[in-house]
Amino acid sequence: MPVPYLVTEFIAGEICTEPSQLSLPVSDFSGQLAAVLARLHTAGFTRTDAPYLPDIRTTASHRLRARPAQPDTALGEPAVRGALATIWPPPHLNTPVLLHGDFWPGNVLWQDGALAGVLDWEDAAFGDPLADLCLTRMELCMAFGSAAMQSFTVEYLERVPGTDLTALPHWDLYAALRHAGRMSSWGLAVTDLARLQEGHRSFVSGALARLPGSPEER
């Protein structure tokens, strides 16, 4: 091969991206996701183990500067970007860890009710574990509801109890931009698109409510 490559063993399993596909309780589903993400973040990898991986704050800042010509109003992009402009960058309060960078149910394989493998590591980076945590929170809220998101968050924090959540609104809002300008092009049925958009709006509303100075925060 003319470029570096990686060979991995085959892992049997199926992905589960919506409630109708679940073969186990939602709480077990979110709990296993939390357990695996916590294992990754506490595995002890350091920057010297993979110096070629990007810093998530740098990547995020570059993406935030690249503003679209037409903001996605269906996903509240103007409000999200406006809020981020007042609070970015997030404070450095957690020890940087190895991040998967795209940890969501579509990148996880399940077999017989157990999490069998994690796929698609091309967005791996180093940085605040909240970057991974909040991305998964957003995806779960969209597809499985806020209860699944909250259960996942609680399970993760029980396994990594020292995690500082001060920057949770920063990374929640950054995660919320992930699908801006893209979701409507996924070819979803009207009902599925509406469900995901509603879940996304719920997630954004919660993130904005946790901003310093918001009525809920006060």
Please report the domains of the chain, with CATH numbers, ordered by start residue: 24-100+124-209 (3.90.1200)
Residue 9: which pLDDT band, with cuts at 50, 70 and 90? confident
pLDDT exceeds cutoff 80 at 213? no
- Give dist(CA 164, CA 214) in Å, integer: 20
CA distances from 141 to 80, 95, 137, 203, 212 (A): 17, 26, 6, 6, 22
3-state secondary structure 100-161: CCCCCHHHEEEECCEEEEECCCCCCEEECHHHHHHHHHHHHHHHHCHHHHHHHHHHHHHHCC
Query: Which amino acid type is present at position 17?
Result: T
Using pLDDT thresholds of 50, 70 and 90, give the confidence band for residue 214: low
Tens of pLDDT along 88-146? 999 999 999 999 999 999 999 999 999 999 999 999 999 999 999 999 999 999 999 99
Residue labelled with tokens 């596909």: 21
**pLDDT score of 218 more than 50:** no
Average pLDDT, the chain: 94
**pLDDT-wise least confident of 40-44, 56-60, 208-212:** 208-212
**Which pLDDT score, from 0 to 100, does residue 5 have?**
86
Q: What does the DSSP 8-state code read for residue 42?
A: T
pTM for this model (two decimals): 0.93
Q: What end-to-end distance do the CA atoms of the chain give, in Å? A: 58
- Percent of residues, the chain, with pLDDT higher than 90: 92
**pLDDT band at residue 85 using 50, 70 and 90 as cut-offs:** very high
Region for 13 from its dihedrals, namely left if φ exceeds 0, alpha if ψ lies in -120 to 50, beta otherwise: left
User: What pLDDT is stored for residue 215 in this prediction?
Assistant: 52
Nearest-angstrom CA–CA distance, 131 and 56:
8
- For the chain, strand residue ranges (E) read 97-99, 108-111, 114-118, 125-127
CB atoms within 10 A of CB 157: 15
